[in-house]
Amino acid sequence: MAYANSGEYIKHHLTNLVYGQHPDGSWGIAHGADEIKEMGFWSINVDSMFFSIVLGVFFLWIFRRAAKKASTDVPTGLQNFVEWIIEFIDDSVRGSFSGKNPLIAPLALTIFVWIFLMNFMDLLAVDHIPGLAGLLGVPYLKIVPSTDPNVTFALALSVFILVLYYSIKMKGPGGFFAELAFHPFPKFMMPINLLLEGVTLIAKPISLALRLFGNMYAGEMIFILIALMYSGGWVLGIFGGFLQLGWAIFHILIITLQAFIFMTLTIVYLDMASQTDH
Interface residues toward another protein, by CB under 8 A: 18, 20, 36-37, 39-45, 48-49, 52-53, 56, 59-60, 63-64, 66-68, 70-72, 82-83, 86-87, 90, 102-103, 105-107, 109-110, 114, 148-151, 153-155, 157-158
Q: Is 215 annotated in the active site? A: yes
Q: Which is nearer to another protein, 57 or 245 (CB)?
A: 57
Q: How far is the CB of 188 from another protein (least distance, A)?
A: 39
Q: How far is the CB of 181 from another protein (least distance, A)?
A: 29
Q: Which is nearer to another protein, 109 or 121 (CB)?
A: 109
Q: How far is the CB of 7 from another protein (least distance, A)?
A: 19
Q: How far is the CB of 150 from another protein (least distance, A)?
A: 4
**Amino acid code (one letter) for 262:** F
Strand ranges inside the chain, DSSP E: 18-21, 27-29, 43-45
For 7, residues 6+ apart whose C-beta sits below 8 A from its C-beta are none
Q: Which is nearer to another protein, 60 or 196 (CB)?
A: 60
Q: Is 6 annotated in the active site? A: no
**How far is C-alpha 136 from the geometric centre of its chain's CA atoms?**
28
Q: Is 207 annotated in the active site? A: yes
Closest alpha carbon to 117 in 190, 43, 216, 36: 216
Angle at 220 between CA 218 and CA 223, to 5 degrees: 110
Instruction: Report d(CA 122, CA 101) in Å as an integer.
Output: 33
Q: How far is the CB of 155 from another protein (least distance, A)?
A: 6
276 within 8 A of 167, measured Cβ to Cβ: no
DSSP 123: G
Q: Among the options 45, 146, 193, 215, which is catalytic?
A: 215
Q: Which is nearer to another protein, 84 or 250 (CB)?
A: 84
Cβ-based neighbour number of residue 143 at 10 Å: 21
Angle at 56 between CA 210 and CA 20, to 5 degrees: 70
Q: Which is nearer to another protein, 139 or 175 (CB)?
A: 139
Q: Among the options 64, 80, 98, 207, which is catalytic?
A: 207
DSSP 124: S
Helix (H) / strand (E) element for 175: namely: helix 149-181
Closest alpha carbon to 18 in 52, 50, 43: 43
Catalytic residue numbers?
A: 207, 211, 215
